[in-house]
């Protein structure tokens, strides 16, 4: 997802640019480890490292200030969402529902008229979806997000969660639209939802950031009930993502906090369940692109996101 153009809210309670997320986590994690009970092992994927236990979550009391398209179905396929859902097994998250939203769709490149259709996001109207970005070598954001989503689904299912994807390998040729992506999470009554993305900024801009929903009460949108729990979810995901991947907080958004609050994203505005976006890195930066195209790194990214979600759900 690119940040050229759209407005977004500045991070709340800005911190200095010395990477406060990193400093805060360095102080919090050792203490949290002492009180954390090792729970059911979470294994790595085919390209990732095996883990025998999940690291400690960021404590709920922690205060981190938020401040080559793949083959797709036939071009005539309707873009109605057909989310993939598989029931969870036994484990600490049995009974919990997580919706994972892999950003964009490989077919969007061939369906610009359809994805440019305006939809209501509460505050205003925006395009149904966008093409997303890609690395300079042509590895698309849509391909990246689906790969991480599959890895994340496997990890969460091993914890007993039921995981639903807003799109999967058998999805329609384009979309779904951002309003439909939000509805999938709402209809599922998800306990947590996350939209996975990678940015398309300038070379030299690197790092991850988590996008939190701002307070919106307009039209069909009312995020007020989910702002608090979404913030909690975002803090936990950011902390675990940082520890697992070593990817620094963004050096070009969020003043080094790793958080951005926005009120112009339909996927957040229309959500009635706790939800955040994560931009895992910048596909246009050479250093980040080398990570994003690595299967082993994508496994660590999924691991970090999973641990953040598990931490949130075990405390909720």
How many other CB atoms are found less than 10 A from the CB of residue 289? 21
127 included as an active-site residue: no
Q: In what order do the strands lie in the sheet containing 259-262?
A: 84-86, 162-165, 97-102, 192-199, 275-282, 209-213, 259-262
CA distance 108 to 174: 5
Among candidate residues 180, 244, 247, 279, the one labeled active-site is 279
Catalytically annotated residues: 279
């Amino acid at each position: 997802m690119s940040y050229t153009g759209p407005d977004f809210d500045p991070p709340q309670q800005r911190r200095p640019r010395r990477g406060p997320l990193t400093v805060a986590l360095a102080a919090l994690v050792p203490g949290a480890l002492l009180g954390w009970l090792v729970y059911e092992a979470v294994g790595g994927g085919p390209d990732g490292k095996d883990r025998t236990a999940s690291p400690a979550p960021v404590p709920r009391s922690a205060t981190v200030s938020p401040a080559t398209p793949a083959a797709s179905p036939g071009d005539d396929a309707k873009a109605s969402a057909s989310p993939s859902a598989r029931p969870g097994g036994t484990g600490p998250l049995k009974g919990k529902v997580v919706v994972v939203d892999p950003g964009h769709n490989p077919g969007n490149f061939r369906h610009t008229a359809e994805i440019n259709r305006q939809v209501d996001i509460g505050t205003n109207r925006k395009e149904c979806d966008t093409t997303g970005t890609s690395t300079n070598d042509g590895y698309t954001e849509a391909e990246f997000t689906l790969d991480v989503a599959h890895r994340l689904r496997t990890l969460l299912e091993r914890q007993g969660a039921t995981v639903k994807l807003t799109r999967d390998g058998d999805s329609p040729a384009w979309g779904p639209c951002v309003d439909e992506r939000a509805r999938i999470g709402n209809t599922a009554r998800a306990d947590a939802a996350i939209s996975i993305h990678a940015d398309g900024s300038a070379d030299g801009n690197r790092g991850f950031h988590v996008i939190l929903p701002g307070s919106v009460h307009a039209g069909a949108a009312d995020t007020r009930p989910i702002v608090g729990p979404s913030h909690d979810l975002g803090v936990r995901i950011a902390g675990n993502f940082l520890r697992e991947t070593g990817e620094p907080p963004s050096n070009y958004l969020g003043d080094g906090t790793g958080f951005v609050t926005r009120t112009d994203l339909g996927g957040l505005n229309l959500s009635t369940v706790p939800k955040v976006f994560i931009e895992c890195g910048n596909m246009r930066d050479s250093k980040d692109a080398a990570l994003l195209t690595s299967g082993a790194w994508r496994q660590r990214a999924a691991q970090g996101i999973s641990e953040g979600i598990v931490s949130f759900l075990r405390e909720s």
